[in-house]
Amino acid sequence: MLIIGAKGFAKELFEVILQNGPPNSIAFYDDVSEEAPSSLFRGYQVLRNAEAAADYLHDTDQSFALAVGNPQTRQALFAKFVDLGGKPVTIISPFAKIGKIDNEIGDGCNILTNAVIESGNSIGKGCLIHVGALVSHDVVVGDFCEISPHANLLGGVQIGECCSIGTAAVILPRITVGNNCVVGAGAVVTKNIPDNTVVVGNPARPLSK
């Protein structure tokens, strides 16, 4: 498997991979960080350009996992590595709690330790559901969203694409959040949020420009 990213979140995702058992093959990818080492952990190689990544995906293992948090970056890297011949895989911690009734989880998601996804939910491709986050029932989360640690999406919530929901934020039942929105840490969302909006506070209000 090729892990896209070689910094902080890559360590967290690698831990989840190890929770599921020793991988057959692992390499990391980072073409951005000049200080990135040539290898990580127990000597796993860090690839530094698209040609090396394409060779790995072709010759060693087609699967890749996203190890970055930013929604727009996740979207761009997902497309890039599919174009290089990769196959996105969903990584789910065995310590997450996923309901057995009518849940749909898209390709290329990361669902980390102690996340809870109850029943009747739709999680789009490329999403990150972080440590301790709660997705209640009948929730729709669009593609490439980041649901930060201990955020709560309550019943009937709808989240658009490429949204970032901050740590410990609460989205109250049946609220709709548009595309490309940011909900600040600890915010309590009581009203619908239009596209391309940043909200903070309790109750959450648009951030002044």
CATH number at residue 140: 2.160.10.10
State pLDDT tens for residues 20-78.
987 888 999 999 877 767 778 778 999 999 999 999 999 999 999 999 999 999 999 99
Single pTM value for the model: 0.94
In angstroms, what CA-CA distances link 168 with 27, 117, 203?
A: 32, 16, 14
Residue 206 counted as domain residue: no
Are 7 and 102 within one domain?
Answer: no
**Domain housing 172:** 90-197
| Domain finish residue from 66, 89, 112 | 89
* pLDDT of 186 over the 70 cut: yes
Are 96 and 62 within one domain?
Answer: no
* pLDDT of 117 over the 70 cut: yes
Give the pLDDT mean for 94-105.
Answer: 97
- What pLDDT is attached to residue 51? 96
100: left (phi over 0), alpha (psi -120 to 50) or beta: alpha
| Domain finish residue from 89, 122, 142 | 89
| Domain finish residue from 42, 62, 89 | 89
Active site residues: 137
